Amino acid sequence: MTKTSNAMWGGRFAAGPDAIMEAINASIGFDRRLAAQDIAGSRAHAAMLAATGIVSDSDADAIREGLLTILSEIEAGEFAFSTALEDIHMNVEARLRELIGAPAGRLHTARSRNDQVAVDLRLWVREQCDAVDTALAALMRALVGQAAQGADWVMPGFTHLQVAQPVTWGHHMLAYVEMFARDRGRFADARARMNESPLGAAALAGTSFPIDRHMTAAALGFDRPMANSLDAVSDRDFALEFLAAASICAMHLSRLAEELVIWSSAQFRFVKMSDRWSTGSSIMPQKRNPDAAELIRAKIGRIFGANVALMTVMKGLPLAYGKDMQEDKEQVFDAADNLMLALAAMTGMVADMTAQKDVLRGAAATGFSTATDLADWLVRTLGLPFREAHHVTGALVAEAEARGGDLSDLPLDAMQAVHHLITADVFTVLGVENSVASRTSYGGTAPANVRAQIARWEEVLK
């Protein structure tokens, strides 16, 4: 079997790893995505080495210019990545040596691949937090737009997927705005916590060189350097927090996707999905399948899986670094890619879908959705205890059901046969529009409330 060796670190070993070891050990196939972050970290490190007198200004300048050349080659697709060189760090350093010669060997002074990869991934995840925040804001704007269009459109609210009480379309849309706002908060919290620099922790114990970790932290946009070198190289909490926030956000996306699948069905017809986000059937010409929503619902499993996978990788690791931690990146990359794709697709679907106002209103008027309003009226107007009012309302629902109508279809004498004190005033609360208009408590579905919340969110999302 052919054997190769990595000359960058191979002085300790007489023979290199065989092909299988090379395959399991190499990460360049996926960590090449960290190239920009790796080069940014190396440029900051080189500038600090010069500022502290550890390397000469001329060597640091050559290093930094050479790194920019490498970045240009990578961005242009002209860089030749080598599996034999294992990872992005050694690929970059080897090319740097080709470009500038001996000064390239000074770049790794007072640094280890352990703190190097930690800073690279931390920078990448930080950028993803910012990207997700932007994508979430776009989705929230699309939802607010839908809410504004139908702030007073009446639709059924559900519990157990059974008609419960009337709500407004705007109120339902804004429920998801609240969910995704919490997601933005979680990513912002995670970003704030991860904004500490591990660079300069070296392998695990720090370094005897007179480095300035505050300088490199500031150069890379971190708030401060991490305070413990062991923690700095072994920590992947920042990636786990990103995945945890991504998982909760993905769950919200899946819930909305599920509703869109249900609502666009022939049985509901609450919404009409745009042709841009639907597909046809290969055999049934009448079909309009909500494939984008279904794919979002499915891709969420990959994000959940990434979270569990990295938790499992980290759960048994002693301090400080173990090669197990090489398995962190693919999980984070895949989850981030799928979350961004799902957010973009959901934003497009929400912006393009058409709510069917008349269908929504008709559905709201079924299933005795104003029964709670009737019970409240019995308490408020007749002074009945709520449990008695609940019993009376249940009897009236049974009577209406037996007659094949809704509560508002019952004649007054039929109602009075159940409770003699009921008056014609009861009909003022039995219409679905009256029902939603009465829900004026803070957070309630009354159109006036909904419009106030729409105005608030439009201001927040400017």
Catalytic residues: 160, 281
CB 129 within 8 A of CB 242: yes
Kindly report the backbone phi and psi dihedral angles of residue 220, in degrees, each rounded to the nearest multiple of 5, phi listed first.
-100, 10
CB 85 within 8 A of CB 91: yes
362: tokens are 């008709």
235: tokens are 């920590």
3-state SS assignment for residue 409: helix
